Amino acid sequence: MSAPVSNAVRPVSGAAGQHELPPRFRAPRWSSVLVLAVMLGLSVQGLLRMDISWSRAMQGPSNVWDFFMNSVPPNVGRFENLALLMLETLEIALIGTIIGVVLSLPAALIAARNTTPWLPLAWFMRLVLTTLRSVPDLVWALIFVMAVGLGPLAGILAIAVDVLGFAGRFFAERIEEIERGPMDAVRSTGASGAAVVVGAVLPAAFASFTATSLYCLEKSIRGATILGMVGAGGIGMELTPAFNLRQYDTALMIIILILVVVLAAEQLSSTVRKRMLGADQLTRAM
């Protein structure tokens, strides 16, 4: 008696009785080819239209080297003033992030399809969040500088709007990923919609909300530096004059302060994630 043929090694036949090729050997779809052709065409057309000077590109490394040679050692004589401006930048980022995150929670509850009171309202809120997210934070800073004048308030408002558009989207997506079991269990007790949110939605999404909020804080610290260049307060207001006046040692001191603060924020985010996930979750499995 011959041994039975295993299904794992049985060839798969197509409609014509021929073996089907693995997906990696099949011809791509015409839509994929069209998208790739359009992207390549735009890239080639952009290189030709922008008239990029390769001689200037080759001079870039030497100019960067000159910058570092002229900026070392950094200007520590202005450390106290620059540190105060860096503290102002951190405060702008922190306040703006808190405002944006607080506003993102009700916006996400409205935008999520499983918690919204009315589906068209969810579509409208998603459109609002997309609009806020699509406009760069630098443009928001220019708008608020025109609206409220120069200073930290414009930076705080710009960061709050940017965080609202960013965090609102991810909060809404996380809410939609929550299993319906806990929500239905709370609803079965006759609880109101607010009780369902407090008792089922927020506990299930708290870890994701925290991670997203910490990432927004890191992003806001870097963004607040750039916003200062257009008059929105913080250390960025000193960075532009330092480069324009070729005070590279002061510029390097500012860059070092920014690097230290951003690294500290990333370390804080990593520590919080470890506390929330637990050491076992982050231990290598193999």
Residue 181 has phi, psi (to 5 degrees) of -55, -55
pLDDT at 22: 65
pLDDT digits (tens, 9 = 90+) for 173-182: 999 988 888 8
Cα dist. 181→8, 20, 170 in Å? 37, 42, 21
pLDDT at 230: 87
d(CA 277, CA 286): 19
Mean pLDDT value across residues 74-97: 91
The amino acid at residue 164 is L
| Residue ranges per structural domain of the chain | 78-277
d(CA 60, CA 68): 13
Mean pLDDT value across residues 86-115: 94
The percent of residues in the chain predicted with pLDDT above 70, rounded, is 87
Mean pLDDT taken over the chain: 84
CB count, 10 Å around CB of 153?
17
d(CA 171, CA 202): 10
pLDDT band at 284 (very low <50, low <70, confident <90, very high): low
Q: What is the CATH number of domain 78-277?
A: 1.10.3720.10
The amino acid at residue 46 is G
pLDDT at 21: 61
**Is the pLDDT confidence value at 43 over 60?**
yes
**Is the pLDDT confidence value at 159 over 90?**
yes
pLDDT at 124: 95
Mean pLDDT value across residues 181-191: 82
Among 214, 257, 244, CA closest to 85: 257
Judge contact between 111 and 172, C-beta under 8 A: yes
Global confidence as pTM: 0.78
- Assigned token pair, 145: 């500088």
